[in-house]
Amino acid sequence: MNDRLPLRALLALSAAAFITILTEALPAGVLPAMSADHGVGESAMGQAVTIYAIGTALSAIPLSAATAEWPRKRLLLTAIAGFAVANTVTAASTFFPVSMAARFVAGIAAGVVWAMLAGYARRLAPAGQEGRAMAIVMAGIPIALSLGVPAGTLLGEALGWQVTFACVTAFAVALFAWIAALVPDHPGEPRGAHTPIGAALAVPGVAPVLFVTLAYVLAHTILYTYIATYLEQLGMGGSIELVLLVFGVASMASIWIVGTHIDRRLRTLTIVSAVLFGTGAVVLAALSGSPALVYVAVTLWGLGFGGVPTLTQTAVAVAGGDAADTAQAMLVTLWNAAMAGGGVAGGVLLGLVGSGALPWSVLALALPVLVVVVAAHRHGFPRRQALAVS
């Protein structure tokens, strides 16, 4: 029996996660330049993140059901092709409606990827190593945030934000070839096997995980979408790339720790994650006058949030049982609804009371996350866990 992880295939899936997050988050790093070239304000241009998330949220559940019988590899390749097309249009357009339409299409492609990625990773992994396989795949998220977005921001400043999106297109084409060559195929679900939404939601433990996902991602997105604007208000506008790098490195450390221990300590890791996230918000809100403490806060933020995709997707897969695929699609929908809501809520806060309100809103949402995780000790985030997921 082969108990080795198929690293080349898992790294390709990690690269798929990377391109979804990179495409989604790039506007946050080049927001001032994009808004200037499109002739709109930064709050309006920030909705490029929102419309992407709306596309993902609207597509995850219906496309998951409609493509349930598709072979997994063909479905993934179709989604990556969608990224290539959407980023090409984004790079070529300075007409706001066309750019937003391209972002919506990219979001649909992301919905397809995220609805299948966790299940694909689990099916590729040997029995008993599903958690580690998930951690490898989810490592694409902090790498995108720590390396991809800062690199894209620097490239955008040097050569223009259009060049940045063109490079993402080139990466999508290379990734298409990588997946086609090295990722094994797996069949879709048998006809009629897809679990209805209501039945999945009624499974004990699914609802708490979904709530934690919604509140956590909403809090993160409110601040992350407008981090460039927030730092400019602190007089740290020249440090945007470094702050994003610190956040990303801390996120990578988080996902490594989560990947090492998730098969035994899902509950503990999720509680610690929420505590670190909330503490970072307190430091950022109350002590932002010190640049050094801003970096401390961002480090805590990254350590808290980096492992959240792995934690929540693993938790909902385990809680969902036979309904895991539908539960995963619901999680993707809520994740991206929170991304969309975070972009809107952050823009409203920015316009009404200024950027100083952003970290306080993060704290207000982090507290119920912690309460629900602690309370869900029987289902969702149980004290005793069995993480073998088929």
Q: How far is residue 313's CA from residue 318's CA, in Å, rounded to a whole number?
A: 9
Q: How many CB atoms lie within 10 A of CB 201?
A: 16
Q: Which two tokens stand for residue 41?
A: 């304000």
Q: Quick check: 117 pLDDT over 50?
A: yes
pLDDT at 385: 57
pLDDT at 390: 38
Q: Quick check: 321 pLDDT over 60?
A: yes
Percent of the chain with pLDDT over 90: 34
Q: Quick check: 97 pLDDT over 60?
A: yes
155 domain-assigned: yes
Q: Quick check: 216 pLDDT over 80?
A: yes
What's 354's domain CATH number? 1.20.1250.20
Q: Which two tokens stand for residue 204?
A: 């004990």
153 domain-assigned: yes
Q: How far is residue 298's CA from residue 277's CA, in Å, rounded to a whole number?
A: 9
pLDDT digits (tens, 9 = 90+) for 283-311: 988 876 788 898 999 999 999 998 898 89
pLDDT at 114: 85
DSSP for 296-313, written as a single string: HHHHHHHHHHTTHHHHHH
pLDDT at 1: 45
Amino acid at 314: T
- Number of structural domains (the chain) is 1
pLDDT digits (tens, 9 = 90+) for 3-41: 788 899 999 999 999 999 899 888 878 888 899 999 988
pLDDT digits (tens, 9 = 90+) for 259-287: 888 877 889 999 999 999 999 988 988 87
CA distances in angstroms from 279 to 154, 253, 266, listed in the order given: 29, 17, 20
Mean pLDDT, the chain, whole residue set? 86
Q: Which two tokens stand for residue 260?
A: 């090492």
pLDDT at 193: 58
Q: How far is residue 283's CA from residue 363's CA, in Å, rounded to a whole number?
A: 10
Contact 82, 109 (CB under 8 A): yes
Residues shown for the chain: 390
Q: How far is residue 247's CA from residue 25's CA, in Å, rounded to a whole number?
A: 13
Q: Quick check: 248 pLDDT over 90?
A: no
Q: How far is residue 26's CA from residue 46's CA, in Å, rounded to a whole number?
A: 10
Q: How many CB atoms lie within 10 A of CB 385?
A: 16
Res. 140 pLDDT band, cuts 50 70 90:
confident
386 domain-assigned: no
271 domain-assigned: yes
Q: Which residue has the higher pLDDT, 34 or 43?
A: 34
383 domain-assigned: no
CA distances in angstroms from 191 to 69, 197, 263, 264, listed in the order given: 7, 17, 31, 34
For residue 186, the SS3 value is coil
pLDDT at 387: 46
Task: For residue 185, give the DSSP letter.
Answer: P
Q: Quick check: 181 pLDDT over 90?
A: yes
93 domain-assigned: yes
E strand or H helix at 197, and its extent?
Answer: helix 197-201
Q: Which residue has the higher pLDDT, 138 or 74?
A: 74
1 domain-assigned: no
106 domain-assigned: yes
Res. 384 pLDDT band, cuts 50 70 90:
low
Percent of the chain with pLDDT over 70: 95
Res. 388 pLDDT band, cuts 50 70 90:
very low
Q: What is the pTM of this model?
A: 0.76
Q: Quick check: 194 pLDDT over 80?
A: no
Q: Which domain holds residue 38?
A: 7-183+192-375
pLDDT digits (tens, 9 = 90+) for 364-383: 999 999 999 999 888 889 87
pLDDT at 127: 75
